[in-house]
Structure 1
Amino acid sequence: MKALLLLVIFTLLSSLGDGSVGSIISSSLFDQMLKHRNDAACPGKGFYTYTAFIAATNSFSGFGTTGDDATKKREIAAFLAQTSHETTGGWPTAPDGPYAWGYCFISERNPPKDYCVANSQWPCAAGKKYYGRGPIQISYNYNYGPAGKAIGSDLLKNPDLVATDATISFKTALWFWMTPQSPMPSCHDVITGRWTPSNADRAAGRLTGYGVTTNIINGGLECGNGSDARVADRIGFYKRYCDLLGVSYGDNLDCYNPRPFTSTAAHVDPGRQTSSQYSHSGKLGKTPCDADPCRNGRHFKHSTLSYSTQSKLKLRRDRVGKSPSRSRPICRSPTTEKQATH
């Protein structure tokens, strides 16, 4: 117990140094941003702690520490906004508004299968399931494998760590955030201005700004089709967090018109229906990770939880439509370089 207390104190003190994420977002501000994450109605109550968040960010050099103060704040706001959308329990008339209910959920509810596909590099462990878990809802063995390798945990053998160890859970989301997959840049490079759009990107309307991070995460479903409530929800979280951090939003917040990266991505089997911008690299085999019919965002079933304030309310996971955007799994190439530092 004493050792754990010392670890917590060390983590908090180490975060207060100049240039760290902890010097930008305090524990009290974190609680204000994710105001209802510990509500009694949230399945994730008590899981997503500030200490775990700071410990995870300290393992990824560059996150929240790149650029000037405004850039650092925007990256933290963008990361928490995108992951809040993926884990939200909010609804339009929720107390304090829908954007105060991020980080309510931990795991995919009622997963229809084990998300195990044949892969020689990242083979499934017997009896293990790789459904969506954590802030970014990482899914499939070929994502758990490289994510685990990058953060120093064997997530193929122990995928439940993403739902039981908050630091590991945050680290998987940060791994996704920091790792590029051609032709897509990383969310980190986009939001910090380190990504320069190519001529093809410009022709497709993909310009530097928060909207490209949405395109990276779920562009195949949400981008290039005009106004979309899911995109608006992501922007709502982002604006709220930017306001709390005292930073401007930047340009190009939505992806209503820019085309998804799918249109330029390679290695997608043209004979199968895809619903997301992600695809396997050639080293992963011939089947695109998003060719699975469950990737069209209609299999993710959430229960409706009762919530009581002065009147009876409903905590609704499907706040912007019939199903959440993270009803399809995260796809990420397992060939990327290790991002974490230890």
Structure 2
Amino acid sequence: MDRTRSARLRRVLVAAVAVVVGTFVLIPGSAAAAGTGTITGYGGKCVDVSGAGTANGTKVQLWTCNGTAAQNWTVGTDGTIRALGKCLDVSAGSTADGAKVQLWDCNGTGAQQWVANAARDIVNPQANKCLDATGVSSADGTALQIWTCGGGANQKWTVPGGGTGGGGGGGFVVSEAQFNQMFPNRNSFYTYAGLTDAMKKYPAFATTGSDTVKRQEAAAFLANVSHETGGLVYINEINTANYPHYCDTSQPYGCPAGQAAYYGRGPIQLSWNFNYKAAGDALGVNLLNNPNLVATNSSISWQTGLWYWMTGTGGAGTTSHNAMVNSQGFGVTIRAINSIECNGANPAQVQSRVNSYNQFVGLLGVPAGGNLYC
């Protein structure tokens, strides 16, 4: 929020940028199962390990469903898809159309990360491409590959348990597993349940427009949040020397919680007495007198972030929500949240936000769209 931002956050979060920039990496190991069984696709055929082989590089293909171990897949909550003790893998970690999909030792790389979304795509976020039956064929032995997502029947899959990996509590387009992948080092205060509970206050958030737009908005919100908090690590503003500066004594209600009580807290780092007053009034919570609720109640904390996302315009002249649902681009959300970074004033900070957004839309299996910078 333009008046809730200052150099303190930008200085504090420079050291934390490394936490959130780049492709997430998961530690190899046994994955908790989101579902186990067959993955069916084009022509009603099953995803199959050729010859039930377990050698690295074994072809993964379509085959008539037969109930064997070669067709028994575990979709892990860590983003892996496993069979015969090995992981579904993009050959050589390629991001090119036509890169073959194979079986390989699980290693936690982006080549082995998959997201099954509500559109029934299985997306490799590293490449931002879909699992695809080569040649639009359903013949036994058809090799699987990755290809630019096009919505064709040869890219549609049904995963074990009917899960999609693309939605969560209250219909949120980001599942809890995806949320955890986005924020592997997050503070336990920032819970997924807190976020989905907060969304009840703003039911239009990430539910407006096409499925792509919903995911883009969710990614944009979480990318800005990631930047503001160093990957959901920080709850309170770190630079305590700034704390007394956020009391605007010209306001008729003053600063009843104390001169130094209105420092940055929560996912959008709510600051200043007038913002605590406005957010509290909107949310039905007395934040002016009890500002620390933003640092002690996960749902309220998330609510303040959504409050600004849905209502604050900053230097953009529109809300971040409206910018995303009207396809104005991620860059407009940066201008709404912290326009002081824009127009070349702090390109490193803008790039940090864009990096997180690109990562998150990749994880959610949608394009980033245009106008990413401000």
Instruction: State the TM-score, normalized to the length of structure 2.
Output: 0.52
Aligned residue number for residue 186 of structure 1: 319
* Structure-1 residue corresponding to 2:214: 72
Structure having greater relative contact order (Cα 8 Å, sep ≥ 6): 1
Larger radius of gyration: 2
Aligned to 1:29: 178
How many Å separate the matches in 2 of 1:214 and 1:24?
Answer: 22
Amino acid at match of 1:125: P
2: CA distance, partners of 1:181 / 1:235: 19
CA distance in 1 between counterparts of 2:215 and 2:250 reads 38
Quick one: which of 238, 243, 250 aligns to 2:369?
250
2:254 is matched with: 123
C-alpha distance in structure 2 between counterparts of 1:253 and 1:50, whole Å: 26
What is the aligned partner in structure 2 of residue 167 from structure 1? 299
- 1:79–1:177 contact (8 Å) kept in structure 2: yes
Q: Over residues 13-50 of structure 1, what are the superposed CA-to-partner deviations in whole Å (9 max), with x where a residue is unaligned?
A: xxx9x99763422111111111111xxxxxxx310001
Describe the superposition over 1:33-79 as per-residue Cα deviations: whole angstroms up to 9, x where unpaired.
11111xxxxxxx31000100100012102101000100000000000
Structure 2: gaps (5+ residues) = 1-164
- Once the two structures are superposed, residues 172-194 of structure 1 have per-residue CA deviations (whole angstroms, 9 ceiling, x without a partner) of 01000000448711000001107
Deviation at 1:126, TM superposition (A): 4.3
The question of whether the paired residues in 2 share the 8 Å contact of 1:21 and 1:64 is answered with no
Aligned residue number for residue 239 of structure 2: 110
Sort the Cα spacing of 1:229 and 1:118 in 2 relative to 1 into closer, same or farther, 3 A. Answer: same
What is the total number of aligned residue pairs between the two structures? 206
Which whole-Å CA distance do the structure 1 matches of 2:346 and 2:238 have between them? 28
1:156 is paired with a residue whose SS is coil
Matched, 1:86 2:215: no
Q: Which runs of 4+ in 1 moved over 3 A?
A: 18-23, 119-122, 180-183
Q: Deviations over 1:247-296 (max 9, x none)?
A: 100001011xxxxxxxxxxxxxxxxxxxxxxxxxxxxxxxxxxxxxxxxx
Aligned twin of 1:135: 267
Q: Map 1:163-312 onto structure 2 (within 5 A).
A: 163-181=295-313, 184-193=317-326, 208-220=328-340, 222-225=341-344, 228-255=347-374
- Structure 1, unaligned runs of 5 or more: 1-15, 38-44, 89-101, 195-207, 256-342
Aligned with 1:175: secondary structure? helix
* CA distance 1:23–1:127, shift in 2 (3 Å): closer
Are 2:219 and 1:56 aligned? no
The DSSP-based 3-state class of the residue aligned with 1:217 is: helix
Where 1:137 maps in the other structure, the secondary structure is coil
- Cα deviation for residue 111 of structure 1 reads 2.4
Between the aligned residues of both structures, percent identity stands at 44
Whether the aligned pair in 2 keeps the contact of 1:19 and 1:65 (CA below 8 Å) is no
